[in-house]
Amino acid sequence: MTYLANSARYDSMEYRRCGNSGLKLPAISLGLWHNFGGVDVFENYRDILRTAFDKGITHFDLANNYGPPAGSAEENFGVIFKKDFTQYRDELIISSKAGYLMWPGPYGEWGSRKYLISSCDQSLKRMGLDYVDIFYSHRPDPNTPLEETMGALDSIVRQGKALYVGVSNYSAEDTVKAIEILKGLGTPCLIHQPKYSMLERWVEGSTPVGSLMDVLGDKGVGCIPFSPLAQGLLTNKYLKGIPEGSRAALAHGFLQEGQITPEVIAKIQSLNDLAVERGQTLAQMALAWLLKDQRVTSVLIGASRTAQLLDSLECLNNKDFSQEELVKIEGILK
């Protein structure tokens, strides 16, 4: 059956300007890091993508290595794009990244010009796209000059393969350098994608150039946090310990059993109590907490099923915090 998007899709979503650019992103964006790979169920993730767009989520975030297996999330997205979203291409922001291991040998990861440009070409082919809206350097490369990595991003824009560029997982100091290099090349840095949540606060930490959040605010660069729910820790899933089949129960997952200490459980339970007082789930409060900062352009969520996506979107209905609540949250987290 032909997919027709909901005609009221823009009515309930908030759109925020990305730094000093002309681009707006939805307050909630959908990441395809997990649940869209070759091991996952096609009809399930197709329904998630359709529902997301129907609710005004115009931004889908990918990377070359998303799967598993690596590359399969982009391939699967390409199939769904062709079936469902071709007519909506100009309403969509599609991003991809390169930096982590993608193919064997010395040119299959990190930040060389060779790797980034090859990787972008491969991503476009897998997704069946002429261009992506945003292309990122997924992580800094300690062995490649930053000028080379940023020069490759500039070339990708000049070749018409991306409209904007960004960085992910860069320190505050490296971000300042990257912003300056890109500015000199005439391709501004649009956005930074850091790991940031109530439980992961490194972006607020002080450095010789200021915190990463201060740098982004001062330089007019957008911020799109990933892992806003700390791989599921900031949901009601772990309130009573580690459930079977959860990410923490899987030995190969990004969330390890050892991270879920009694101290962490106590914090989550206290945060959950506050969320209940606010009339929210813990996940909704955690997303709203990030969106309270106007330097945050969009928050990148994942979803393993449509109901989870819809639940996360409810955070937009209660984004305001009293000073008392913010003090309470800091007290719990410290």
pLDDT per position in the chain (334 positions), as tens?
899 999 999 999 999 999 999 999 999 999 999 999 999 999 999 999 999 999 999 999 999 999 999 999 999 999 999 999 999 999 999 999 999 999 999 999 999 999 999 999 999 999 999 999 999 999 999 999 999 999 999 999 999 999 999 999 999 999 999 999 999 999 999 999 999 999 999 999 999 999 999 999 999 999 999 999 999 999 988 787 666 665 555 544 555 566 678 898 999 999 999 999 999 999 999 999 999 999 999 999 999 999 999 999 999 999 999 999 999 999 999 9
Using CA atoms, how far apart are residues 225 and 28, in angstroms rounded to an integer? Answer: 10
Beta strands in the chain (DSSP E): 15-17, 24-26, 28-31, 59-61, 93-98, 132-137, 162-168, 189-193, 222-223, 299-301
Q: Which CATH architecture has domain 15-233+286-318?
A: Alpha-Beta Barrel (3.20)
Domain spans, the chain: 15-233+286-318
- Classify each residue of 256-283 as buried b or exposed e, where b means 16 or more C-beta atoms within 10 Å of its C-beta: eeeebeeeebebbeebbebbeebebbbb
